Every structure is written in C-alpha cells, then in structure tokens.
Amino acid sequence: MCSGRVDLEFVFRSFANWQDGVLIGGCKLNECNYITHGNYDALGNTYICKKIMERIGLNPDRLSIEFMSGGDGNRLADVVNGFVQKIKEIGPIGESEGIDKNILKHDLDAVRKLIPYLRLVEREKLRVPVRSEEGYREFYASDEVNRLFDEVVFGNLAISRIVSLLREKPLSTGEISENLGLSPSEVAKYMNSSSRQGLVKFDTDSSRYSLVG
C-alpha cells in the first residue's frame, strides 16, 4: 500500500487504541513507484499529526516516518528496532506525559471527529510550494502555517474537545479549564462560539455548561 494512503484517522485511531507509537514507512522521496508521489502526502500528514499531538500534550516522537527502498532490508530492521527502543524509553502513552487516561480518550475522540475538517484544511490551505524534505520541514515550521493552525485548526479542535467532555456530564468554566489546560478566558471564548452554533447551553442555577439536545 502506498504510504500516501495512511490517513490521519489511521494514526489517531492507533493512539485511541492505546498504541504507544506509530511508525510510517514509505518509499524514498522522489523515487515513488506511482505518479502520485504519495510519500510526500504521508510526510505532510505526519507534520499535521505532530502539531496536533503537541497541542493535546502527547509526545510527538511517538510518531515517526521513514523513507527507504525495497532493498533496504537491513536498514528497515535497524529503523524498527530503533523506534521500538525509543518508544520504550518514552513509556506508555498518556501515562508518561502525565495525562489522565479519560482526558486523553476524550481528546483523541475529539481529534478524530475533526479529521474530515482537517482534510479540507490540508487540501485547500496547506499546499507546500517545494516538493522536498527540507521544503516540507520549512513550510510546516513557518509562522504562516503556525498562525493558520492557531486560528483555523486549534480553535475548532478546542471546541471539539470541550463538546467531547460535555457528552459525559455538565461542567463549569473552571472544570473545563482544568481538564483541557485552557485559561478561563479561552474557555469563555470557545463557549460563546459554541453557544452561537447551538452546540452548548449554560445553566445559570448550576453555573455549568451542557450540550444542547
């Protein structure tokens, strides 16, 4: 299977199933067996995943991508062994980062619900101008892309994370803030946006937010 078929959903589903690490293997860049050069798509998806992992508190080193040819059997063994050793050193997912298992489950559920939107963002706004490993690295580290993620992606991710939490029970601003590591003012901003969209409502008697319907 072409590495370009490795969807964002596959990666985050693996983490949601408590896999401690994900290694993506692709053919060498600029040596694609197909005309699509899907290995570059896999590289772009890896950068997107790592940015989201950092935002929800997961060590981005839990995800890695390596490029090699069919004749690189010895290198493949070295890469797999090295990755396994690195993941052992990092430790169990969530536990090593100090994230409560229930909170991490909510966060990963929220990310997975956002993936169709992320695909649209990737298709429409994340067009790398130069197809090279260095070009992708520079593009995804640029201020422009970081600004795009802050304004377009992470705002929607925060709302998705809050909605996922509220499916379990109503919560106050302070409780949401504590669970997600957001400031009370950030929570208030996202709650105002969610209220306008008809997603949540505020109960004045209990001072808690809950889902509509």
The rounded distance, in Å, linking the Cα atoms of 56 and 87 is 18
The rounded distance, in Å, linking the Cα atoms of 137 and 183 is 30
| pLDDT at position 61 over 90 | yes
Q: Are 142 and 46 spatial neighbours (Cβ–Cβ below 8 Å)?
A: no
Averaged pLDDT, 18-33: 90
Averaged pLDDT, 59-72: 91
pLDDT digits (tens, 9 = 90+) for 122-131: 888 888 988 8
Averaged pLDDT, 48-66: 95
For residue 189, report the phi and psi dihedrals to the nearest 5 degrees.
-60, -45
Cβ neighbours of 74 (radius 10 Å): 9
pLDDT at residue 197, rounded to an integer: 86
pLDDT digits (tens, 9 = 90+) for 99-137: 999 889 989 998 999 999 988 888 888 889 888 999 999
Rounded mean pLDDT of the chain?
91
pLDDT at residue 166, rounded to an integer: 92
pLDDT at residue 151, rounded to an integer: 83
pLDDT digits (tens, 9 = 90+) for 152-167: 888 888 888 898 889 8
Measured in whole angstroms, the distance separating CA 48 from the mean position of its chain's CA atoms is 6
Cβ neighbours of 31 (radius 10 Å): 12
pLDDT at residue 5, rounded to an integer: 84
